[in-house]
Amino acid sequence: MKTALAAFALLLALPAYAQTSTNPDTQSVEAVVEAFRASIVERDQARFKKLFLDERTTWQSVTGAKNLAEVRKKKPAAVKVRIDPTNNPRNFIDEIAADKVKSEEQFRDVKIQSDGDIASVYFDYSFLADGKETNHGKEAWQLVHTDDGWKIVSVIWSVNW
């Protein structure tokens, strides 16, 4: 009986151990997240652009409900989701590199899921200009594992201020 209880206790501990073990795919995706953050801080356009599969990567924001309600008081025709073909990763990093303001994006509560071929990243973010938060929200990425490593194929985020 003691042996059966010990074996059962060991089985119960396995899921906890599995959650704390480090998956190499997760580590590789974490490296992409860090490269994204660092390239913004360092204004490294080349490094940033290499993180994406293609410059036509989906790059889409959505205005948070409370903020949209405030905006609509002054502009009733304001839309929650505006599609702008000039809104893309290339223009984003080019604007940061050209701006005198120091930019930084902070990530919290990062969750990564991967099967080795595709991955999703979901987190809370704050965007700072000269150390002051300009907006925050949730952000989600989709990535694919290519012969050249993990590449971002989609970035969507909510914008709240």
Mapping DSSP onto H, E and C, the string for the chain reads CHHHHHHHHHHHHHHHHHHHCCCHHHHHHHHHHHHHHHHHHCCCHHHHHCCECCCCCEEEEEECHHHHHHHHHHCCCCCCCCCCCCCCHHHHHHHHHHCCCCEEEEEEEEEEEECCCEEEEEEEEEEEECCEEEEEEEEEEEEEEECCEEEEEEEEEEEEC
Per-domain residue ranges for the chain?
24-159
Using 50, 70 and 90 to split pLDDT, how confident is the model at 20?
A: very low
26-65 pLDDT per residue, tens: 999 999 999 999 999 999 999 999 999 998 999 999 999 9
pLDDT, position 10: 41
pTM: 0.85
Domain 24-159 - what CATH class? alpha beta
- Is the pLDDT score of 2 beyond 90? no
89-147 pLDDT per residue, tens: 999 999 999 999 999 999 999 999 999 999 999 999 999 999 999 999 999 999 999 99
pLDDT, position 61: 98
